[in-house]
A and B are shown apart, each in its own frame.
Chain A
Amino acid sequence: MALVLNVNGVRHEVDVDPQTPLLWVIRDSLGLTGTKFSCGIAQCGACTLHVDGQPVRSCSFPVSLAVGKTIKTIEGVSSDGNHPIQRAWKELDAPQCGYCQSGMIMSALALLQRNPNPTDADIDAGVTNACRCSSYHRVRKAIHLAADLMKADA
């Protein structure tokens, strides 16, 4: 059965089992590999993307629940890699291995969209993704910088 998905503003029809986690449809049916697989049980957040603006751990989110909604992945954050959050990440050289960073950026972006001035405590509560390299120190600084850049751009 074909399902219709709206991903990064583009309409796609996919023929998959409706129970398939959204992650695998995004990565394998649509070829958008920026969203990562790591734990498969919604613990680490490497697979975080947005469904109707909300951060979702797509490894444990059936594709059928995303039908009719707006999906945004790391590839949809900007066309040129220069969204304020991406500029902030580059300015602070935040990633190390980088594998968790797509999910980290999507979680942080969701936080900034609902809270343009997050405190450290807001970041602690709002960004619960795991990073094994422990890039957290620079990620925290980058979130604060991104908040400033987003306001400057607005």
Chain B
Amino acid sequence: MSGQPVNRRDVIAGAGAFVLGFYLPPRASQAQTAAAHGAAWYTEPAVPEINAWIVVEPDDSVVIRIAQTELGQGVWTSNAMMVAEELQCDWSKVKPIYASANRDAREKAPAWTLDVPGKGATDPNGGGEPTFGNRDRTGGFGIPDSLYRRMRTNAASSVKDGRYYLQLAGAEARERLMLAAAKEWGVPVDEVTAKDSVLSHSKSGRSTTYGKIAHLAARTPHPNPEAIALKPPEMWTLMGTEQKNLDIPMKVTGETKYAIDVRLPGMKWAAVKTCPVYGGDVKSFDAAAVRGKPGVRSVHPFPIPDSKLTRGRVFSGGVAVVADTWYQAKTALEAMPIEWTVPPERAVFNTANMRAALLAALDAPGRVRVNTGDVDGVLERAARADRVVEATYSTPYLPRARMEPGNATVLVTDDRVDIWIGDQSPQETRFSAAQITGIPEENVYLHLCHLGGGYGRNGNGPQAEQALMIANANRGTPIHLLWTREEDFIGTTYRAMGMARLKAALDADGWPLALEVRTSMQQDGFGPDASFDVASRYYVPNYRFSNHTTNFHVPVGTRRGVGQAAHEFYRESFIDELAHAAGKDPYRYRRELISRTALPFKADMIKALDMAAEMSGWGSPLPRGTVRAIALEERGVETGNSATISAMVHTVSVSRDGRVKLERVDVAHESGFGLVNPLSVKKQIEGQITWFYNDAMHQACNIENGAIAENNFNTFSMARIDEDPLTINIQFFPTAHWLVGMGHDRGTSVQAALANAVFEITGKRFRDLPLRQHDLTWG
């Protein structure tokens, strides 16, 4: 091929003049964004804000700034509800917009909002127990002191972590509105009431609206903010009620501006190809092959993004074509010969040899995480009595495969960076922008968009970094980078492929005396390191849990449910196998093993199991080929602090020709001290049932010669509406702690339920997911 060596400084001009003259002055881009219909991004308020979270406009509109990203989980609404509950404003007047990640780089949060009030997860009057409660300036492993605190959207923690400072923001604004009204009327503030955006003084009969008094409240400091208390759950009037999501009306008309919909004057489009073997780079490419093609402006090689900017993951280097339209850029790029430099030690990987390595790792010494009693001795004695059950399970590499392919629009000028993006880590993207362009974070502006699916923060991948590199080479021109679907499978991070071997000794009645759990995963696979203890919830007097790691090259990250979701498949499947070996009912077997523990929330777990069983009609007859399977879902119960507990019964049929149908799901879910928006919780549960159904039935990404094999929706399959359960019953029950969150690990039980149902109906036990790779026929 007529390639040429890569010179990183080259910007190869394509056909026609490469226009560099377009320049957006710093303020113009903001004015432009404000005018964009359907955009949710930050705009400077026309009237003074009351505090950083709240602007009340003269027409009584209440603008509430949202520091997490709406990606379907309902945060746009639930975050606003937490502010509005305390503000006591008219909910119908609330308009969320995104908080400014730029202001967050320049301003600090008030000192009196920094500490979590109350006494932890079991104190109904406090702020609960945030996951990221520790201070961390970068926000990487804790919460920064910057204006909007933690802007990440991850770990199902938006409600749990943000509640206290969002409630405080609403309460402070309400009290300042009341102070301003009292001063205006010359009456004591404790005679003023605030409700539904109206301030009243009953003695004098005076009243006004928030909008009329807001300009005064903005100039009225709070005399004693440290004394502001959170409204406890029994006083909530908005939180805890089902509220329709505020982003929905624009999502049914096509008006919502996702990042892919951003259009700017003079904007050019970039299509990219990166080396499909992670860590590979461009060896040569033939820019001449695309010169003169319609719309093509320039060609840019870009290097492997600095792993410090991509959370330690090593992605690939690549080439971008910039053109007037994306279709032109993509078509040209497809026609351009590119040769890759592929690290040979990475190209040798394929699913088979990686699986063999994981199996071998299970036999090698591992890192022991829990070791109680005498596991080896008990297993040895049980083996002599033939009372040992052993099983090895596996789960494949899994991507997020969000529907909106990775994209970002970046404009770099000499002293400012603007980024339009749907992003679960805007503070980290701001840092990347400063590192790549040399422009300080204080001059980086993110215009945040709703995301077309998220499913795990690290899945954001390097689209922002790639776009920044290309835009930095084209200063003055807005560059909209968009991945093809195939490129999105390269640019995402995966849940690591994993294996587990579980071995139990049973007593004469079938109850476990000892349990050994070995899991293997790649070293940075967010399973071992996040300590998802496979069997902490079920009672066994002798127990050992060890992690066995290998080194693979696939970038792995915190995909929805993280390693815990795979581990729940291993654990709940094995408990079903033990119940079967013991000849016991899997519901009562679980119930008994929970009741034997000393876990802090065991009564709540038993309640969940009982309630789900009752809801499902557990034990009542079903047609041949249809069975029920039950499993517990919990997070945090071993801590005695925050937890989220649910149980689900899945009614599953398998036809003789092997078609699996999830017929019905009965869900008993705790509500803790209170859910913020129960409607969003229901939607999240409904969605996650089918998310994990997909994991169990359909989805796998194989590795061939170091690259991901399934990279579009023809080979990477996904359930459609015909596989969605017709009946999903959800009931909540109150418990006496705050929840951990429920956006990523509900519905995990469907995996073991499907495998167990297949076993009960067909007599065949399959332990390697996804199930569709197996012969599920029977009869």
Contacts and interface: CB of A to CB of B under 8 A. Distances in A.
DSSP majority for the B interface? loop
B724 A95 contact: no
Given A33-B261, A44-B403, A98 B683 contact: no
A89 B248 CA distance: 8
Contacts of A130: 403, 713, 718, 720
A96 B450 contact: no
Nearest to A91: B244
A133 B72 contact: yes
Q: Which of A86, A96, A97 has most B Cβ within 10 Å?
A: A97
B404 A93 contact: no
Interface in A118-154: 120, 123-125, 127-140
Given A35-B254, A105-B252, A97 B721 contact: no
Interface residues of B, number: 61
B72 A34 contact: no
Contacts of A37: 260, 405, 482
Interface string B416-450: 00000000000000000000000000000000001
A89 B252 contact: yes
Interface string B597-626: 000000000000000000000000000000
Contacts of A81: 249, 252-253, 255
DSSP majority for the A interface? loop
B713 A138 contact: no
Contacts of A31: 263
Given A36-B260, A41-B485, A97-B454, A77 B713 contact: no
B679 interface: yes
B726 A120 contact: yes
Contacts of A58: none
B219 to A, nearest CB: 39
Interface string A70-105: 000111011001000010011001111111111001
Contacts, number: 174
A115 interface: no
B453 A97 contact: yes
A47 to B, nearest CB: 11
B341 interface: no
Contacts of A34: 253-255
Nearest to B255: A34
B705 interface: no
Contact of A86 (B247, B252, B294, B691): B252
A112 interface: no
B453 A99 contact: yes
Interface string A26-54: 00100111111111110110100000000
Nearest to A44: B713
B686 A137 contact: yes
Contacts of B688: 134
A134 B327 contact: no
Nearest to A78: B253
A139 B403 contact: no
Given A93-B248, A93-B679, A136 B721 contact: yes
A124 B722 CA distance: 4
A8 to B, nearest CB: 11
A94 B679 CA distance: 11
B248 A132 contact: no
B714 A43 contact: yes
A36 B403 contact: yes
B691 A24 contact: no
Interface in B384-413: 400-405
Contacts of A101: 251-252
A46 B689 contact: no
A124 B687 CA distance: 17
A153 B514 CA distance: 66
B37 to A, nearest CB: 11
A9 to B, nearest CB: 16
A125 B724 contact: no
A125 to B, nearest CB: 7
Interface string B718-743: 11111011101000000000000000
Given A28-B326, A134-B687, A134-B688, 4 more contacts: A40-B712, A96-B683, A97-B402, A133-B72
10 contacts: A31-B263, A40-B484, A43-B713, A73-B254, A93-B248, A95-B72, A124-B722, A134-B691, A135-B686, A135-B687
Q: Which 5 A-B pairs have the closest CB atoms?
A: A34-B254, A99-B452, A96-B72, A97-B72, A98-B251
